Amino acid sequence: MTEEKDKTPKTIAELGEFGLIDLLTKNIELTQPSTVRGIGDDAAVLENGDKYLLISKDILLEGIHFDMVYQPLTHLGYKAVAINLSDIYAMNGTPTHILVGIGISSRYTLEAVQEIYKGIKLACKRYKVDFIGGDTSSSVQGLIISVTVLGSVDKDKVVYRGVSLPNELLCVSGDLGGAYAGLLILEREKAEFTANPDMQPDLTGNEYVLERFLKPEPRQDIIKIFKDLKIKPTAMIDISDGLASEIKHLCNYSDLGCAIFEDKIPIAKQTYEIAHSFKMDPTVFALNGGEDYELLFTIRQEDYDKIKNIAEISVIGHMNDNDSGINLITKSGSLVKIKAQGWDHLKK
């Protein structure tokens, strides 16, 4: 056996989520004339009369994506919908319908399941999405929520993960790292509670980051801004695994490199303070924390004037030729290659 052959990944842990998806979905033949785009973007794209139909699905598993110790059930239902809607917004689309599959172990009461559905319905109402179907089953262990979302987009408005061009501006909505800060607070309180069950968790003053983690809001407002300002991003993705992982996707899809300026990465004051209290770097929260569900996108330089005064959009860098790689320009001016260490739960 040659050295070369030994390098072929043989386990799921070696491959990681994206390597596994690539391996499993390569050589998929698409034969339906209505298929515009299959696997590989935030949502699949299908012909639908004079529009495109968008469709995506996510599964949330207890113990992997959420911890029942601190995840309120209504928020969980809400979040399960929200993160799916985010995939539709990442295509510059409007979500229209959801289906929900749920598996429940006998440990869950009827009231618990009703709480989850309350959250699902709340999110549907808020984002004007119709809840049209699904499946309900018992499970051997734990809670499973699988949401499928449908959306719609004008054909000339759909935005994929590619194609950006060199010098286009790299932008992000909202702020980053907050969800991870919230998770750290919850994990700390859980550890203290485990050590001393009489303790009351103290979450005061951390409301912003806790909500970022427990009940994220997908960026419907950003899609509206694009429409109002007549901007069409050249590429877009939602930030579920952290900026470092998503920027890598965007660059790979366009076969480009990029430069991100550390001092331009939007981070909320509360996120900063929590990072410091944990003696951690807030930039690492933004790069590798994940679960922020903000939008990362590129726009043409000539669109800069339209967005420069929009508080909810930050220009964090620009695209470069592929040769230059994916670089972070630190606050001290040095150049660091970005490695994606995003939240890949299949990698060990």
In the range 36-75, which residues lie near a copy of itself by CB under 8 A? 37-39, 43-44, 46, 48-50, 53, 55-59, 61-65
Q: According to CB under 8 A, which residues from 252 to 291 bind a copy of itself? A: none
Q: According to CB under 8 A, which residues from 150 to 209 bind a copy of itself? A: 150, 152
The answer to whether residues 243 and 285 touch, using CB atoms and an 8 Å cutoff, is no
Q: How many CA atoms lie within 13 Å of 39's alpha carbon, on the beta-carbon side?
A: 12
Query: What value, to the nearest 5°, has the Cα angle with vertex 108 and ends 106 and 112?
Result: 155
**Is 114 one of the binding residues for a copy of itself (CB under 8 A)?**
yes
Kind and range of the H or E element at 233? none
Helix (H, G, I), strand (E, B), or coil: what is residue 144? strand
Q: According to CB under 8 A, which residues from 284 to 343 bind a copy of itself? A: none
Residue 135 is encoded by which pair of tokens? 């499946």
CB of 24 to a copy of itself, least distance (A): 5
Q: According to CB under 8 A, which residues from 70 to 99 bind a copy of itself? A: 96-97, 99
Instruction: Give me the DSSP letters along 267-321.
Output: --HHHHHHHHHTT--HHHHHHH-----EEEEEE-GGGHHHHTT-TTEEEEEEEE-
What one-letter code names the amino acid at 165?
L
| DSSP code at position 168 | P
CA nearest 83: which of 293, 331, 338? 293
Q: Which of 88, 104, 209, 223 is the binder for a copy of itself (CB under 8 A)?
A: 104
Compare residues 46 and 329 and give the one whose CB is closer to a copy of itself.
46
**Is 134 one of the binding residues for a copy of itself (CB under 8 A)?**
yes
CB of 224 to a copy of itself, least distance (A): 18
**Is 130 one of the binding residues for a copy of itself (CB under 8 A)?**
yes
**Is 239 one of the binding residues for a copy of itself (CB under 8 A)?**
no
Q: Which of 135, 207, 281, 321 is the binder for a copy of itself (CB under 8 A)?
A: 135
Sign, CA torsion 298/299/305/307:
negative
Q: Which of 133, 207, 304, 339 is the binder for a copy of itself (CB under 8 A)?
A: 133
Stretch that binds a copy of itself, among 9-17, 68-76, 267-275, 277-285 (CB under 8 A): 9-17
